[in-house]
Amino acid sequence: MTITTATTRPDAATSAPAARGSFWRRFGALVAAESRILVRNRTALLTAVAMPPLIAFAFSGLSMDRAALGVVLTMTLVGSALMFVLYFTMVTSLVARREQLVLKRLVAGEPTPLEILLAPAVPLLVLFLVQSGLAIGGAVALGTPFAHPWALVLAVVGGAATWTALAIWSATWTRTVESAQLTTMPLILVAMLLSGFSLPLTILPDVVQRFAHWLPMTPVIDLINLAHLGTGTSGEALAGGALVGATTGMILPMLLWTALALYAGLRGFRWDPRG
Amino acid sequence: MTTTAHMPTAAGATRTDEAIVLSGVRRSYTTASRLNLLSGRRVPTASFEAVRGVDLSVRRGELFALLGTNGAGKTSTVELIEGLARPSAGEIRVLGHDPVAERGRVRFRTGVVLQSSGFPSALTVAEMARLWHGTLTRPLPVDAMLEAVDLAGRADVETNKLSGGERRRLDVALALMADPEVLILDEPTTGLDPESRRTIWGLVTGLVERGSAVLLTTHYLEEAEQLADRIAIMHAGVIAREGTLAEIVADTPSRITFTRPEHLDLARLETPGARVHVTDEIVIETPTLQDTLARVLAWAGDEPLGSLNARVASLEQVFLAVADRPLTNA
């Protein structure tokens, strides 16, 4: 049995192309496969699609006026989509692919490590964006004010980058799909308790509050607050130089977490389950 | 680190015939470590050296078979050539490049069949093949590749429902899809039925004929005997023997065996230079097969010799002799 195409290669050394193929073609193929796998994995898909709305629904049961309800809706939907759609599902995807030795196959091929690690994030990012869009649409419908809409963009983009990078990092010390429920728990708990997501940070001691603003979820919630109400981390109205300063203070922790998690994740990533 | 005798003086020359060159390559594994949570890295506290100074080269248009017992260090060596890990010492060049540091210049010219297939369970054969096709710089068509390994009829089957032989054939199809100048196969035929094995052999030898370099690890000695231009036998992390089949068996005596004849006097059999072992079976080990055989036949005359067998040393004899050698600490 022979392959009928390209039966002769005149001189391997000279016919070799000077450069490899395009990033977009490779990445596109990986993303298409990851999307297909996600759609066929009912459990993962259900978690990703249903979990954030459920959490948002649970939190919005608190009695409030309609406008305040819109803020809660954006916070809980965007926040829980980051944790459960993006972070948790991506950790399990990466670990499942590693357990099936898919990552080892890919890393032995042409795709680069970063391409392989980011491909599973793309379909999840789409889901995250859809849910964020629903949250914002809901807030508009509820008549919630939008003092600084651009801050929502920062929250969504910054949050996505931070929690994608954190997923890669968490996957470095998660051995099995089952253990992912445990290994992702610390970050999810901290994010839920110390971000203003479930309870206002202002009820906590001052020193804890200041520490909390450096955690990966808090800036997302802070930016959503800023977007709707135009207020800073201690509830003060912001304008001019103070607005720029406060915004920078919210972006900085996200940048640091993204850089740190991506660096540690790429350095420490194990491609082989036995490695 | 040792200097390479193989590399020509012109630096970075890809003109050389040698597609894969290893010089003084070593690989250590961490056997005990503690985890540094901040970096996500394990800090080694104890280690084991699986590859202990390997030199080898594979030329274009050549099939090189790397043999060895389990744990000899074959896969550890091959993974370094694939660029999956860095050697702890020594130098590796694939098509003139470092397979880790210059992976972007090497990967699109190489094909790899790992010991493990690594197919996502949710994808069908065709979907897996299309995914792989999409990652390659100069892929051959999906349909032609599936056809070549007799999987065209199984294109819509999920990969986790394939038999072992079918998975392996898909592995080989994907590796060949890159139309590689260097193909590395780690035990591609282990556990395969004869027909699957023949299919894979045919594809691999076809690639060699077109000028690619192929490095193959295998447990099957007859596979190496039939396919390989050159063979290396690895043992305890080093290469114990290397050369063509003829070179490897040259130092090992040939054998003549037959059942002990009742009506012949063994004392009258003269076989200079040979060693004769007598039990119910006569085993003669000789460096000069033809001469000794002529003497045996003359001695026997018209008397039939039961189960007469004469053959040059086999790879198996050499392999077993190497494998039985005690492990030495390098």
Q: What is the pLDDT of residue B71?
A: 86
Over residues B166-222, the pLDDT tens digits come to 999 999 999 999 999 999 999 999 888 999 999 999 999 999 999 999 999 998 898
- Of B46 and B178, the one with more pLDDT: B178
Specify the pLDDT at position B41.
Answer: 67
- B73-118: pLDDT as tens digits: 999 999 999 999 999 999 999 999 999 999 999 999 999 999 999 9
Residue B263: pLDDT over 90: no
What tokens does B29 get?
A: 């594994």
Q: Count contacts between A and B (CB, < 8 Å).
A: 142
Q: What are phi and psi of B241, to 5 degrees?
A: -140, 145
Walk along chain A (275 residues) and give the pLDDT tens digit of each residue. Answer: 445 444 444 444 444 555 777 899 999 999 999 999 999 999 889 988 898 888 888 887 665 677 788 898 999 999 999 999 999 999 999 999 999 999 999 999 999 999 999 999 999 999 999 999 999 999 999 999 999 999 999 999 999 999 999 999 999 999 999 999 999 999 999 999 998 888 888 888 889 988 999 999 999 999 999 999 999 888 888 888 899 999 999 999 999 999 999 999 999 899 999 76
**Per-residue confidence (pLDDT) for residue A203, from 0 to 100:** 87
Nearest to B60 among A12, A97, A172 (CB): A12
Specify whether the backbone of B68 is left (phi greater than 0), alpha (psi in -120 to 50) or beta. Answer: left
DSSP strand pairing (B18-36 vs B275-278): unpaired
Beta carbons within 8 Å of B294's beta carbon, 6+ residues apart = none
Maximum separation of any 2 CA atoms in chain B, in Å: 84
Using the beta-carbon criterion (under 8 Å), do B107 and A40 form an inter-chain contact?
A: no
Which range, of A206-215, B28-37, B311-320, averages the lowest pLDDT?
B28-37
Residue B1 pLDDT: 38
Q: How far is B104 from chain A (nearest CA, A)?
A: 7
| DSSP 8-state code for residue B293 | H
Q: With contacts defined as CB-CB under 8 Å, which chain B residues touch A112? A: 103-104
Please answer yes or no on whether B135 and A6 come within 8 Å at the CB atom.
no
Domain extents in chain A: 20-268
The pLDDT confidence band at residue B33, using thresholds 50, 70 and 90, is: confident
A211 touching B, CB under 8 A?
no
Q: Which ipTM was obtained for this model?
A: 0.89
CB contact under 8 A, B40 and A17: no
Section B1-11 average pLDDT? 41
Q: Do residues B59 and B18 touch, judged by C-beta distance below 8 A?
A: yes
- Residue of chain A whose Cα is closest to the Cα of B116: A101
Q: Which site among A94, A95, A98, A105 would you substitute to test the B interface, given the most B Cβ atoms closer than 10 Å to its Cβ?
A: A105
Q: Chain B contact for A27, CB < 8 A?
A: no
> From residue A180, how far is each of A84, A146, A185, A248, B245 by CA, in Å?
12, 37, 8, 33, 51
Per-residue pLDDT at A198: 80
CB-closest option in B135, B181, B206 to A2: B206
What one-character-per-residue DSSP string does chain A give?
----SS---S-HHHHS-SS---HHHHHHHHHHHHHHHHHH-HHHHHHHHHHHHHHHHHHTTS---HHHHHHHHHHHHHHHIIIIIIIIHHHHHHHHHHHTTHHHHHHTSSS-HHHHHHTTHHHHHHHHHHHHHHHHHHHHHTT---S-THHHHHHHHHHHHHHHHHHHHHHHT--STTTHHHHTHHHHHHHHHSSSSSS-GGGS-HHHHHHHTTSSSHHHHHHHHHHHH-B-TTS-B--HHHHHHHHHHHHHHHHHHHHHHHHHHHHH--SSTT-
CA of residue B136 relative to chain centroid, distance: 25
> Which A residues in the span 150-169 are in contact with B, Cβ-Cβ below 8 Å?
169
pLDDT tier at B328, thresholds 50, 70, 90: low
Neighbouring residues of B250: CB distance < 8 A, sequence distance ≥ 6: none
Sign (positive/negative) of CA torsion B193, B194, B196, B197? positive
